[in-house]
Structure 1
């Protein structure tokens, strides 16, 4: 029997896809080449080796000196302080011998490995970041906080409860294993039911196609601003992160302040949708929604808002419309959305040609990127907060706090089609085609510099998905009449969900007008004053000033788009 090249290639793909299922989608070839690049660079650097040996000896002497003078004084200044975001050793019990010696030695070792994996001449920046990240992950596995006999807080709890905490932890572990294999959410997550206590802002589904349901929300004021708002969430998330409980729903906040709000609810794809691409999301998602809203509000422009991947797609769509002379948008707002991916953060550690080909083969075999595979990557990026703190609190201390609505939403993940995800990773993350003018829409390249409407861009201080310095690069790409950049406290999700009641929040905001000189992000950070509280009010005021006069509130579900069903619709409920 004669086999053609395609069949040989399919066999190769099947083998790699099978292997990817065992390695969580991480290419062993890519990992090995990264390690060998670092090791060979270190072997060819005898001066650096000597310097590292000297550093190791100095750290040992430093630790011994500290032990001899201060180890038995719990009020003594530590030899080395944890990083601000490291909460593992905050319990006062860590200040007593011998546990202070354990955690101080661990932190010094962590610092030494950072020195050993960074700054090597000739090591590619991508490999340097990957090796440093990998070393940090391995060290975190062996942190003294993760083990019964080396964690004083766990030992104290075990003695006080006569081991009941460990029995409770074992029960938690068994429950989690069972839920994992049965595909069930935790009991506390199940307390939040879409349409019952989350995603309950009143509205109607007025349009539906294969990819989206378009929801129009019911006004709560007699008069509304003339220009409507369209919100485009990322399709890697259920839309109701922006409509959680009534007290922290951004949708409700906008409606209560007199805005007519529409939002896209994306369908959760299956393996049958494997060939749906980014252009399908653009046409059947954003453009289809704009067509509906323009029919209902024929004399008004639309404020478009995009979150995360939805913001990136919105920027592409706005660029294509501007190139074609379409004057449909009043403004564009981007929440934690990247347009230039050269500084895309630690997610880039998983993106190189070999790694991407490996992941593509896995998705090719499955037809989709599964929710467990996607959530696994995000957990690794924040392993201390999402993995090891959970091990300590739930399995060693035996405590399990009920999760809030945001964490419950985070467990309600979605899938991504093979073609779309491959296009997204390759054209944007790997090749940075949008920022460098190579991304084509309808056969022609698009440029963000064509967008000539006001832009409001929100970054978050601790964003591990879209680092704020990456989102700030929009200043270099867009020639809009004004770009308002706002930096808020919090991370990729919690920073965006910032209701006015959260008084502990803060933000910075400044506007750059056309013709202003460029200010680099660090200088911007230094010059821009910190404002206390939520940023929602600042953005809503910005929108209101550009939304025209107040008019009579519209009736939801007018012809030719009568209501199909009540919000939140059916797509958001599909697992």
Structure 2
């Protein structure tokens, strides 16, 4: 038999087609990888200090307690033997049998080899995590970082992530005569091409959505455009409206239409239906011309400009304002500034999942230490921007099984097309961040905690959390992994307002906020006593089934003035909602 590769002419039609596709994909793969820029080690892995501290702590603990390492080793081998025996006997309990959706396929239970592989993986992962958890000589911040990176290694090495040990992928390949693997390779190459050689798993079918056509469809008009944002005034849906308008500032890490994904869950539409005049800031997706834009630019050309425009359009002296996530943090800075200059334009403020006290950095602890912040500074030094993909990747790896490895298995090993899911489309529509703003936020707020410590220098002022004195409602989410509710609570406690309302919604960073009453999902906690610790506050709080939106509406109405005739946004050459800035895609 010849050991040479047959010419394409000697192959069958299907073989020829497969060979041609493989050849084309190989060329595309090499071209995509060649476009990858040189990596920045500072944001790829922790600095050498963490490794040195871990090694020193390991030896220190060994010297203090020689039986510590022996105990872990003995425990690991004992669990390993139990896993081996359990797989042989096909037992349903013992080490490695805990429920795990990654191993839901029946073969993980019925195939002895796969059953053992699953059990041993779980035993090994548990041993790794236990060794880190028991490393008492390592400082707490370093232990949290080490725990995170240990989790990442464990998640990466799960046997279902590999073709040879994924029964569903192997079965699909057999059933499709390899077509699923070829389609998976096509998906892989397409993802590399879309990200200039960087591997970011596509989570959603982009072709299913179009901003302004089937998402972000609430009618309105752009009434102001600055270098930082477009201000949209939404069309009223009631005969009369409350005199004092609402100005909403969404986060600029993603796009504003999380508040207007579809009519059924649109907070914007719901507010207009309650009789409010609603304005929303749609932030620019920065390019290199905005690399020197700082928090002061977001405040001046964003928050202050929007507030003044809404006042003028509605012929009112005051507005109610809302800030979500990072925009809630910056709104708090703005409120401190306005208080110091004696400006009373803000009648009340609502904060959605907004951190203002960063004394506990929560799940972002691994990324907010000096080595990573230095690495980000190097990254923004290359182009003046923090590319959208860096933030997107960081957020994804906080939930790597759900947002990295799970989608990768479906796309690359099973050859499936990503789903058409509006929330995931929004999640992927992230933005670049100006370098100056990024470093102000990371060093001044996250690292130094200068705002909560009453020393944040900005716009010629020393901004203080205690200078936030307007009537305030803060809404947080119980399962929020981005802005942990207990950290949000601590910041609200330090604000100077004499009129504070704090709500803890069930669910996470998005679902806890975008939770219309019509769904009847999730509940929320209330407690007027903010002198307690966060744990005590929740323990003594009243639980209410359903959305918190009606409670917010009841809080807003007395702060929104009398009913007046509707104000329809005037047509102009700035364009209709959702505007043009929201359609700018990160490169």
Fold match, TM over 0.5? yes
Instruction: Tell me how far 1:444 sits from its aligned partner.
Output: 2.7
CA distance in 1, matches of 2:137, 2:411: 44
Which of the residues 425, 428, 431 maps onto 1:414?
A: 431
| Counterpart secondary structure, 2:559 | coil
- 2:381 paired with 1:381: no
Task: Decide whether the 8 Å contact of 2:527 with 2:540 is kept in 1.
Answer: no
Which moves more between the two structures, 146-155 or 434-443?
146-155
* Pair 481,79 (structure 1): closer, same or farther in 2 beyond 3 Å: same
With the length of structure 1 as denominator, give the TM-score of the two structures: 0.88
CA distance in 2, matches of 1:566, 1:198: 14
CA distance in 1, matches of 2:402, 2:367: 20
Residue 12 of structure 1: aligned partner: none
**RMSD of the alignment, in Å?**
2.7
Residue 493 of structure 1: aligned partner: 510
CA distance in 1, matches of 2:131, 2:535: 27
* Pair 94,535 (structure 1): closer, same or farther in 2 beyond 3 Å: farther
Task: Decide whether the 8 Å contact of 1:227 with 1:547 is kept in 2.
Answer: yes
Task: Decide whether the 8 Å contact of 1:486 with 1:507 is kept in 2.
Answer: no
Residue 565 of structure 1: aligned partner: 575
Residue 32 of structure 1: aligned partner: 48
Instruction: Tell me how far 1:243 sits from its aligned partner.
Output: 1.6
CA distance in 2, matches of 1:308, 1:279: 17
* Pair 106,48 (structure 1): closer, same or farther in 2 beyond 3 Å: farther
Q: Deviations over 1:65-104 (max 9, x none)?
A: 4653576447x24535658xx6323444433333333223
CA distance in 1, matches of 2:315, 2:431: 34
Instruction: Tell me how far 1:240 sits from its aligned partner.
Output: 1.5
CA distance in 1, matches of 2:105, 2:537: 36
* Pair 69,107 (structure 1): closer, same or farther in 2 beyond 3 Å: closer
Residue 150 of structure 2: aligned partner: 135
- 2:408 paired with 1:394: no
CA distance in 2, matches of 1:72, 1:534: 49
Which moves more between the two structures, 473-482 or 523-532?
523-532
CA distance in 1, matches of 2:197, 2:208: 18
CA distance in 2, matches of 1:90, 1:551: 58
Residue 44 of structure 1: aligned partner: 60
| Counterpart secondary structure, 1:306 | strand
Which of the residues 518, 528, 532 maps onto 2:531?
A: 518
| Counterpart secondary structure, 1:44 | helix
* Pair 187,498 (structure 1): closer, same or farther in 2 beyond 3 Å: closer
Residue 89 of structure 1: aligned partner: 103
Which moves more between the two structures, 258-267 or 141-150?
141-150
Which of the residues 478, 481, 488 maps onto 1:464?
A: 481
Instruction: Tell me how far 1:452 sits from its aligned partner.
Output: 2.6
CA distance in 1, matches of 2:391, 2:83: 44
Task: Decide whether the 8 Å contact of 2:524 with 2:546 is kept in 1.
Answer: no
Task: Decide whether the 8 Å contact of 1:458 with 1:486 is kept in 2.
Answer: yes
Task: Decide whether the 8 Å contact of 1:339 with 1:435 is kept in 2.
Answer: yes
Please give the residue correspondences for 1:170-209 in structure 2 after superposition, counting only pairs within 5 Å: 170-181=185-196, 188-209=205-226
CA distance in 2, matches of 1:230, 1:137: 40
Task: Decide whether the 8 Å contact of 1:275 with 1:419 is kept in 2.
Answer: yes
Q: Deviations over 1:173-208 (max 9, x none)?
A: 233233333999888213211111111111011111
* Pair 60,155 (structure 1): closer, same or farther in 2 beyond 3 Å: farther
Q: Deviations over 1:268-308 (max 9, x none)?
A: 11112111111111111101111111212344531110011
Instruction: Tell me how far 1:153 sits from its aligned partner.
Output: 3.3
* Pair 178,49 (structure 1): closer, same or farther in 2 beyond 3 Å: farther
Which moves more between the two structures, 193-202 or 57-66?
57-66
* Pair 145,50 (structure 1): closer, same or farther in 2 beyond 3 Å: farther
With the length of structure 2 as denominator, give the TM-score of the two structures: 0.86
CA distance in 1, matches of 2:495, 2:457: 17
Instruction: Tell me how far 1:48 sits from its aligned partner.
Output: 5.0
Instruction: Tell me how far 1:267 sits from its aligned partner.
Output: 1.3
Structure 2: give runs of 5+ residues left out of the alignment: 1-35
Residue 150 of structure 1: aligned partner: 165
Q: How many residues align?
A: 546
Instruction: Tell me how far 1:129 sits from its aligned partner.
Output: 1.4
Instruction: Tell me how far 1:134 sits from its aligned partner.
Output: 1.1
- 2:117 paired with 1:117: no
CA distance in 1, matches of 2:237, 2:122: 54
Which moves more between the two structures, 38-47 or 49-58?
49-58
Instruction: Tell me how far 1:27 sits from its aligned partner.
Output: 6.9
Instruction: Tell me how far 1:24 sits from its aligned partner.
Output: 6.0
Which moves more between the two structures, 119-128 or 268-277?
119-128
Task: Decide whether the 8 Å contact of 2:222 with 2:574 is kept in 1.
Answer: yes
Q: Deviations over 1:382-412 (max 9, x none)?
A: 2111111012222222233423111112222
CA distance in 2, matches of 1:557, 1:124: 59
* Pair 534,48 (structure 1): closer, same or farther in 2 beyond 3 Å: farther
CA distance in 2, matches of 1:27, 1:402: 29
Task: Decide whether the 8 Å contact of 2:322 with 2:351 is kept in 1.
Answer: yes
Structure 1: give runs of 5+ residues left out of the alignment: 1-18
- 2:236 paired with 1:219: yes
Which moves more between the two structures, 90-99 or 219-228?
90-99
* Pair 64,37 (structure 1): closer, same or farther in 2 beyond 3 Å: same
Task: Decide whether the 8 Å contact of 1:506 with 1:531 is kept in 2.
Answer: no
Residue 8 of structure 1: aligned partner: none
CA distance in 2, matches of 1:107, 1:502: 38
